[in-house]
Structure 1
Amino acid sequence: MKLLVHNISNDADFNLYLKHVESFDIINPFYKLLGANLNEIKEDVVRYFAFVKKDDDTILILMPFIFRKVPYQDQEETYYDVISPYGYSGPLFNESMSRGYLILFWEAVDAWYKQNYVVSEFIRFSLNHNFQFYSGKLIPTLTNVNGRLIDEEAQWAGFKPKVRNNYRKSLEHNLTAKFICDGITDEDIDVYYTIYITTMQRIGAHDTYFYSLEYFKKIIKLSKNNFVVVLIYKDDMAISAELILIAGDTLYSYLGGTLADYFKYRPNDFLKIEVMKWAKKHGYRYYLLGGGRSDGDSLYQYKKSFFPDDKDTIYYTGRKIVNEKMYQKLDAIMNAKVISEDSQTEVPQTKEDIHYFPSYRKPVTKT
């Protein structure tokens, strides 16, 4: 076995990367999304590991990553850290592969890190247990609602009463659902985007969620047939929308929104139940709704009301300190105690500050 490292710095590089991703048994669209905003990654370098057989270069494991210069540089050497692209990531491999290769993969990755002055690594793993044999610290980060799609009558009986009542109310107002897979038009994407961006503005979302219209067009293009856009209509007005990505037998609720003026018609509940009906009809087995902003919050409880009896799936992140000495040096330099300019007292750390990784990249808080 040998570990190859490839850069993704232009369209030709990315097309080769896509070819590798599509060679695996399950075409996972999340590994393609980094191409939607490739031009927006500035000084960072997008790369991927390919763990291959020596005799024929068959790729057993592939993993994209972003190779970043650390915020402070030693005079003698240039240091870096590694982070996975946003979304579900980590090593990609076929289920039939011997898990023993994962041990060899992480050994080879760690050796490469040491040779290339990597200080730390942060990975957002997928939800298919691809964190097995990870050589760093594994952190259970967020509980995700993952619902099994079953017989329609049994599915209905499993909902919380509020879900059933909301769906009945939506039927009274004659809501309809439109599912778009093949042949999606720019007009369809524009309708979806208007609902999405209006929702982000309404809820005061972080800047990172204000994706451009072009970003969504690229996602859909890259996903090929592994997506569905769902639009919910009240008469001729689209009032709710969701972009769903598909991997194998699972639908992943990705990004969506609802127009506030139409909440009274309960379009969110209507959308999710109609998606379940559509998915069951098309042979899918799971509908993954994701989690809340934090475990157990109101958003999580809302999602859980659709699958109250199903076992949740835990989203894990991986954290690894490769160079302990440099990590502590960076931490000391970048996190010198912040003093309030008015009171000359130390600003207390928040819970988020304490758990931020790598600690030397956490945002500085001042009063």
Structure 2
Amino acid sequence: MQYTLITIQQKKEWVDYIKRSAEYDFYHTWHYHALDESGSPILFVYQEATDFIAFPLIRRKIEDSTLSDLSSVYGYTGPVSNLKFEQLSEGFMDRFKLIFLSFLKQEEHVSVFSRLHPLFQQCLLLERFGGLYDNGKTICIDLSVPIEQQRKKYKKNIYESIKKSWKAGLRVVESKKIADISTFREIYKENMLRIGASDYYHFSLRYFLDLLGTDEFDCRLILVYDGEEAISGSIVTFTGNIAQCHLMATRTKYLNNSPAKFLIDEISLIGRKCGMRYYHLGGGLGFKEDSLFKWKSGFSDLLLNYKSWRFVINVPQYQSLVQKTGMTLCNEVDFFPLYRYPIQKL
């Protein structure tokens, strides 16, 4: 049994495997991985005849050692296959496990972390390893029902806000103009500063330009205008039958007007025109059931289980790395791998 390791330099091969997958999202694509600067993106592929399992990951060196670990890009990734996971044979998945474990040990990887996709049955494969972790829930709008039925799911205050936006004459505009992208970046940065987000979320203008400039998936900037001023916006992707609310932000001075509620409703209409089945809103900050989660859940009662995969390959090495940081394995910290936890935040 053999595997293929595709690097970010092998665009054609990466794109080919993802395009041939039965289910995938834009998070799995070559282009999205090419935007990641946290390590070296790889696509691990195990194949038998025409059937394959492909697993996009980020390889990261561990300082002051010959060791490394694997992580995933921001968003919902996990493995993909040319078949749905519920169609894969037990034997095929067992053989994938053997070859993947062999790869992890040979390459001296200490641990693997991957955020999983709430709409795919990836757990059927990864439960063989152990390390599945319940991260909470995400919210999804079902676009297959009539729009009237969708809106009946909205909480009363949300629908009232949307109707006020209609009366106020708010409008949405799709744009890929540099000036509009720059405007959205300013709005998004203002939001991140307001909530005290880490530097990771302070994306550069180049990030937004590259994200919206791809032809590998359908990515759109949709802005809400009040008169001539852009007051809210979202970067939305349409992949397969899934619309993803990747990034969303509102100018602070307009928060009380709640234009984002109007924006979500409008994006759901665009998603319908594009043939989407789901509009995935995501979860709360850090996937906690916080105020953001409660706000999103006001649009739908379709809650999805969101899991991550946290797998330790070499337990003694993992424990040693954790001890070097001064942390202990019994720390009540929801972070993996624990040896990468930013100690100054404790």
CA shift digits 1:300-336 (9 cap, x unpaired): 01000111x32x1122111111112222222222326
- TM-superposed CA distance for 1:152, in Å, is 1.8
The alignment yields a C-alpha RMSD, in angstroms, of: 2.3
> Would the alpha carbon gap of residues 115 and 17 (structure 1) be closer, same or farther in structure 2, given more than 3 Å must change?
same
1:125 corresponds, among 116, 122, 145, to 116
1:343: which partner in 2? Answer: none
- TM-superposed CA distance for 1:286, in Å, is 1.2
1:98: which partner in 2? Answer: 88
> Would the alpha carbon gap of residues 267 and 366 (structure 1) be closer, same or farther in structure 2, given more than 3 Å must change?
closer
Contact 2:231 2:250 in 1 (8 A): yes
CA distance in 1 between counterparts of 2:305 and 2:168 reads: 37
2:139 aligned with 1:145, yes or no? yes
- The correspondence of residues 263-302 of structure 1 with structure 2, limited to 5 A, is 263-293=255-285, 294-302=287-295
Contact 2:327 2:339 in 1 (8 A): no
2:64 aligned with 1:67, yes or no? no
> Would the alpha carbon gap of residues 317 and 27 (structure 1) be closer, same or farther in structure 2, given more than 3 Å must change?
closer
2:342 aligned with 1:363, yes or no? yes
CA distance in 2 between counterparts of 1:336 and 1:245 reads: 39
**SS of structure 2 residue aligned to 1:319:** strand
> Would the alpha carbon gap of residues 215 and 99 (structure 1) be closer, same or farther in structure 2, given more than 3 Å must change?
farther
CA distance in 2 between counterparts of 1:191 and 1:362 reads: 33
2:152: which partner in 1? Answer: 157
**SS of structure 2 residue aligned to 1:133:** helix
2:306 aligned with 1:327, yes or no? no
> Would the alpha carbon gap of residues 129 and 302 (structure 1) be closer, same or farther in structure 2, given more than 3 Å must change?
same
Question: What runs of 5+ residues in structure 1 fail to find an aligned partner?
Answer: 338-348
1:28 corresponds, among 25, 28, 34, to 25
Number of equivalences: 335
Contact 2:76 2:115 in 1 (8 A): yes
Contact 1:125 1:317 in 2 (8 A): yes
- Off by >6 Å, runs of 4+ in structure 1: none
The TM-score normalised by the length of structure 1 is 0.83
1:18 corresponds, among 11, 15, 18, to 15
Contact 2:190 2:252 in 1 (8 A): no
Percent of aligned pairs with the same amino acid = 27
The TM-score normalised by the length of structure 2 is 0.88
> Would the alpha carbon gap of residues 265 and 67 (structure 1) be closer, same or farther in structure 2, given more than 3 Å must change?
closer
1:176: which partner in 2? Answer: 171
CA shift digits 1:230-252 (9 cap, x unpaired): 11110111111001112211111
2:88 aligned with 1:109, yes or no? no
Q: Give, as a single letter, the amino acid of the residue that structure 2 aligns with 1:328.
A: Q
> Would the alpha carbon gap of residues 356 and 225 (structure 1) be closer, same or farther in structure 2, given more than 3 Å must change?
closer
2:244: which partner in 1? Answer: 252
